[in-house]
Structure 1
Amino acid sequence: MKYEVVRDFPDSILFDRGGVCISIYQPTHKNKSENALDKIMFKNQVQKAERSLAQKFSKREIEEFLDPLYKLDQDNEFWNKTKDGLAIFLNKNKCVIYKLDRELKELTVVSDSFHIKPLIRVFQSADKYYVLGLNRKTFKLYYGDRYGLTEIEFAEDVPVEITDVLGDQYTSPHISISKGGTMYGTGSKKDEIEKDIERYLRYIDKFIWENYSKPTGAPLVLVALKEYQGEFRKISGNKYLIEKGIDKDFESLDINTIREESWKIIEAIYLNKTAELVELYNNGKSKELAGDSLEDVSKKAIEGRIETVLLESDKLIPGKVDLETGEIERKPLEDVETDDVLDDIAELVLKSKGEVVMLPKERMPTESGVAAIFRY
């Protein structure tokens, strides 16, 4: 069995239950000089899984089951092209890997279902966002949340400069350009250059949409001079592009300034969204269309009755939800068949096409770690 790197969330494997399900999270580094440390951490994670499996399985059974992870450990090409974090999911049928633009805490969980709450936090946290900086020559993409902003390093084979994107079709400019980005000149040369810029912007739009916006649904802030703000917005089909942008050349700003300016835009959206969800929850509770009881929420999750569930991002409740009755069975996390009750609820809600939103403790309207809005 070969491992597969995936981008779309949620992958079908995340809903698999029964048998052994191994979930591994860890931070990684883009710098090749630090890859050795990543591999050491990964080996430690695999050893944790081995010790947990040893409670119920023979050495031979463990080695057969973990074979994809052993092969991954030897894949130097894989480790040379990591991002900021890894999420790995393995069962007897499949092994999938997410390369993530967000650092994750080291964690290994062996259970009869996958532990997906950290992954949900990456894909469905209310505060995550991207920042796209562009001009007529190049572009950069940043990933941010309320804690900070980091530049995303693209793979070496991804063209970034306009000359690399257009290749032989690029028209060499021989006309003057003002500080504001406006081109001066006459005739076909100017027209060709404008066409080049349009093709380049269309390439950027498609690249960002397919690789970042579509898989995550995260809002996108544009940092560019007014001229390029207008040109990009005119051709962009990205529904997550925020109307308000930063009208400056991104190359003239340091990353801290970009973070401060972009977070001002995102914070208003973030606070508004969380406030709306909390208000919906409070209004629903008065009509018995919302609740925070773990037992009640787990049963309604099995029945497919949850429209939206808010989960406390750092809270972990050891145990599992019985898929037949919805009852919660409390067990220590070290047990091979034990996961996180909140994680089970999240999985059930996603499976029934509900929305899962991860919030920090200070934004949660409840103390139980869960606040659910019911469909009926």
Structure 2
Amino acid sequence: MEILRKEMLEDLKAEHTAPCISLYLPTHKTSPGRLKDPINYKNLLKQLEQSLRQKYSVDETKSFLKPFEELADNEDFWIHTTEGLAVFSSPDFFKTIVLQMPIKEQLIVSDSFFTKPLRNYLQTKDRFQVLAINLFEIRLFEGNRHSLSEVALHPSVAKDMEEALLDDELEDRNKRLTVASYGGVGIGSVAMRHGHGHKKDKSEKYIERFFRVVSEDIELYHSKPTGLPLLLAALPEHHHLFREVNKNPLLMKEKIEIDPFGVPVEKLSEMAWKVIEPNYLSTIENLMAEFEEANGKGAGSINLEEIGKAMALGQIHKLLVANDTTIGGKVEDKTTGTLKTGDIEDPEVGDLTDEIAEIVMDKGGEVIVIPKEKMPNQAGLAAIYRYKL
């Protein structure tokens, strides 16, 4: 089970052997809801079996169902769920992904994987990470308004003070040897690098070095790859020193002053969202203001036909998509942006919002999922152009 990452979408979009099975299931972090999750999952597998039997033999169907059934019997798996679960399987591929958001139950068997819910999740602006740290260890969490889940730290990240100081001492030793081999000043240069003055006692030096190593590791292996804002959760007396050595631009000025290891994850999640929410609401308001300004200058639109033409020209800078919105239809001609609307229940008709969003991203535009109630005129789509068309 993994937390969703952008690069996972590329794996899912790659060509896979049919049938490509996409299963989405709302799950629960606590009982009694958690106890029902495996039951709901097994009920979906019954539907999956019926669907597969319409096209495949009994033996083929059993083969396709096998990894799903093994997951159903994995008790340890079902006690570590969050708000949502996505499972993708084909004869050459199997992956489970946890989602920190409520999700609609869906089961789709096709020639390719159905990834719209994943892309919508990645395109929201309420995602963030929380770095929990004390003098002995660190933990990293990722989540949104709904929940937090612990992130497995990259193997190169120091997990505690002992490991951080050991890594730091080895790095210092290597630098001294390198400097000495070129006629440098060796130990003196290392002292300058760390900024350890005679006024600092030994314990403060260790804490400073620990915080610096953690800050560098988290920035390199987690902040840069995700681009998510980072919220620090630590005791009040540790915030100032951590920020003194921090160079991670994604570390927020807001903070949680608490021993993060002394509260349940659910409580930490509540505290984090209370801090994050004003920034999130401000971001949404700024996006709406940006759209209104662009629209007033003829560089924005909520009109589907106009959005289609701008999409074809590659002139959509930002596409705002209302969450949980589908528009039945398809792009008839990608070169002209001609769109055709229709009944979403028609098997020959897809989700127009999804298709437009994919084309916009392929042409270098940004897609952002917005709460439906915040969208201009309650539109399903709103576009901000690169310039007036």
In 2, Cα distance between the equivalents of 1:288 and 1:274?
21
1:266 partnered with 2:276: yes
**Aligned equivalent of 2:367:** 356
SS at match of 2:117: helix
Matched, 1:152 2:150: yes
1:242 has 2:252 as partner? yes
Question: How do residues 284-303 of structure 1 correspond to structure 2 at under 5 angstroms?
Answer: 284-303=294-313
Does the 8 Å CA contact 1:7/1:215 hold for their aligned counterparts?
Answer: no
Moved more, 9-18 or 267-276: 9-18
| Structure 1 residues 117-149: Cα deviation after superposition (integer angstroms, max 9, x where no partner) | 322343231122233332213344454534x44
User: How far has the Cα of 1:189 moved from its partner?
Assistant: 11
Aligned-residue offset at 1:40 = 3.9
Question: What secondary structure, in the 3-state scheme, does the structure 2 residue paired with 1:268 have?
Answer: helix
Secondary structure, in 3 states, of the residue corresponding to 2:376? coil
**CA deviation string 1:224-274 (max 9, x = no partner):** 345422332344443321123234544577778755654454233212211
Identify the residue that residue 232 of structure 1 maps to in structure 2. Answer: 242
Confirm or deny that 1:316 pairs with 2:314: no
- Displacement after TM superposition at 1:371 (Å): 1.0
Residue of structure 2 in register with 1:117 after alignment: 116
Asked if the contact 2:3/2:151 (under 8 Å) is kept, the reply is: no
1:280 aligns with 2:279: no
Deviation at 1:282, TM superposition (A): 1.7
CA 1:249–1:373 in structure 2 vs 1: closer, same or farther (change >3 Å)? Answer: same
CA drift of 1:291 comes to: 1.9
Q: Distance in 1 between matches of 2:250 and 2:168?
A: 30
1: CA distance between counterparts of 2:144 and 2:344?
A: 32
Match of 2:340 among 319, 328, 331: 328
Q: Aligned-residue CA RMSD in angstroms?
A: 4.5
Q: TM-score, normalised by structure 2?
A: 0.69
Cα 1:35/1:277, change in 2 over 3 Å: closer
Specify whether residues 6 and 100 from structure 1 end up closer, same or farther in structure 2 by C-alpha distance, changes over 3 A only.
closer
1:8 paired residue number: 5
Q: Secondary structure at the match of 2:251?
A: coil
CA contact (8 A) 2:158 2:217 kept: no
Q: Which residue in the other structure is 1:370 paired with? A: 381
Letter in 2 for 1:230: H
Q: CA deviation at 1:279?
A: 1.8
CA offset at residue 339 of structure 1?
Answer: 4.5
8 Å contact 1:136–1:197 — kept in the other structure?
A: yes
Name the counterpart of 2:41. 42
Q: Which has the higher contact order (CA 8 A, sep 6+)?
A: 1
Q: Provide TM-score, normalisation by structure 1.
A: 0.71
SS at match of 1:242: strand
Aligned partner letter, 1:342 = T
Is 1:305 aligned to residue 304 of structure 2? no
What is the one-letter code of the residue matched to 1:41? Answer: N
Question: What is the identity percentage for the equivalent residue pairs of Structure 1 and Structure 2?
Answer: 34
Check whether the contact 2:100–2:143 (CA below 8 A) recurs between aligned residues. no
Q: Between Structure 1 and Structure 2, which shows a larger proportion of helix residues?
A: 2
Match of 1:26 in 2: 25
Give the Cα–Cα distance (whole angstroms) in 1 for the partners of residues 3 and 269 of structure 2: 28
Q: Structure 1 residues 71 and 188, CA, compared in 2 at 3 Å: closer, same or farther?
A: farther
CA deviation map 1:170-192 (0-9, x unaligned): 9xxxxxxxxxxxxxxx999942x
Which structure 2 residues correspond to residues 91-170 of structure 1 after superposition, within 5 A? 94-111=93-110, 114-146=113-145, 148-150=146-148, 152=150, 162=161
